[in-house]
């Protein structure tokens, strides 16, 4: 998988997560809950990913995917660090302590970094 494919597939997944989050924010019970700001972030990032994916911007596309990977890894690690603190535990905006959400952010981060350096 290369950066373009990551942006296309990841963008669609983010849009689906945003829609699910808006319609059924507590779909995973205590293990996976979508907060409004998280839904807006998923929606915005999904749209940007889909719009950027076909553009002929060369190396910039790779570094966008690297940035996405690093941000996803940061949210995954932060989620485990703030686990157990009162919600919303991330600057009063969103709750990052759901274990499934944290693991998913880590998986996306690794996936993005892997895809960023593929041709």
Domain boundaries, the chain: 3-116
Give Cβ neighbours of residue 15 (< 8 Å, ≥ 6 apart).
Answer: 42, 43, 46, 47, 50
In percent, the amount of the chain with pLDDT more than 90 equals 60
The band of 119, judged by pLDDT with boundaries at 50, 70 and 90, is confident
Tokens of 61: 């596309």
Question: Could you tell me how far CA 44 lies from the centroid of its own chain?
Answer: 11
pLDDT of residue 93: 65
pLDDT of residue 106: 96
pLDDT of residue 14: 96
pLDDT in tens, 27-48: 777 767 788 888 999 999 999 9
Q: Provide, for the chain, the percentages of residues in helix, strand and coil under a 3-state DSSP scheme, each rounded to the nearest 5.
A: 70, 0, 30
pLDDT of 57 > 70? The answer is yes
């Amino acid at each position: 998988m290369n950066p373009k494919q990551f942006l296309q597939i990841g963008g669609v997944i983010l849009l689906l997560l945003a829609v699910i989050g808006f319609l059924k924010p507590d779909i995973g019970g205590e293990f996976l809950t979508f907060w409004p700001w998280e839904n807006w972030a998923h929606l915005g990032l999904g749209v940007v990913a889909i719009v950027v994916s076909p553009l002929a911007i060369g190396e910039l596309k790779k570094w966008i995917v690297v940035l996405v990977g690093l941000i996803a890894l940061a949210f995954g690690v932060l989620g485990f660090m703030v686990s157990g603190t009162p919600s919303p535990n991330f600057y009063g905006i969103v709750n990052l302590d759901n274990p499934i959400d944290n693991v998913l952010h880590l998986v996306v981060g690794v996936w993005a970094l892997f895809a960023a350096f593929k041709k």
